[in-house]
Amino acid sequence: MEYKDLTENQKIPVLGLGTWGIGSGTGADYSQDEKHVDAIIYAFHKGITHIDTAEIYSAGRSEELVGEAIKKFDREKLLITTKVSPQHLEHDQILSSAENSLKRLKTDYIDLYLIHWPNLAADMKKVMAAFDKLIKEKLIRFVGVSNFSVDQFRQAQQHTSNKIVTNQVHYNLLHREPEQELLDFCQEEKVILTAYSPLAEGKLVGGKFPVLDKIATKYGKTPVQVALRWLIEKPQVIAIPKSSSRDHIDEIFGTLDRNLEKEDEELLDKSF
């Protein structure tokens, strides 16, 4: 596994495992539990030790499945990210959401606790005070946000002395909005940009974009691996592809053993 600096004293894997849809979509579905837990455990064994979830995923069932999987491992070797929903950003709601996530995850602490989406009606001073309290009580280790603009990020940061270590956003070859401003900001401020939907919800799996297929063939890789490699070679960027099968996890892990040549990175940049 390759790593980047989350903080001066904490590394984060360049590839994590996303869990949106694991446990179903918006409501809990127990029929695929064994398969999903197996996939998470398999990812951990492969070295993908960062897993991303949220209280809203499958009505909390995703967190429960992550909790089932992580009990088999040394907790200190894992990085668990979860998120509080934007409708729960009152001070006491944040504390309650964190407590409920901890129970579902069956853990004593959350490594990365993120605000899932901005809420323009929220009082950010009170929001960040709640996060500060969670850090002080050692219930979370690091603060993050998701889907925040640069201005929203700055506003949140000014209300806490704890560094906001990541902004998780939609970023892939087909969705390049972060390159307008956010990517430069994260690189300058040493903030990790976590790319969700890095494979454009399956649109980059192959056969649809000849340039991607050609580069994949050149390296003996799959289009999925090239699309992920394009992301994680960028400074401060990591990716959290979703997977619920061992074969796909193997494919994701195969991203790690070959760098792209500069000319191929540039070709991908201008072709999408």
User: Active-site residue numbers?
Assistant: 57
CB 228 within 8 A of CB 234: no
* CB-CB neighbours of 44 under 10 Å: 21
Q: Report the first-to-last Cα separation within the chain, whole angstroms.
A: 28
CB 169 within 8 A of CB 146: yes
CB 44 within 8 A of CB 78: yes
* Residues 6 or more apart in contact with residue 13 via CB below 8 angstroms: 1, 2, 3, 47, 48, 49, 50, 79, 238
Q: Is 20 helix (H, G, I), strand (E, B) or coil?
A: coil
Is residue 50 part of an annotated ligand binding site? Answer: no
Give the annotated binding-site residues for substrate: 116
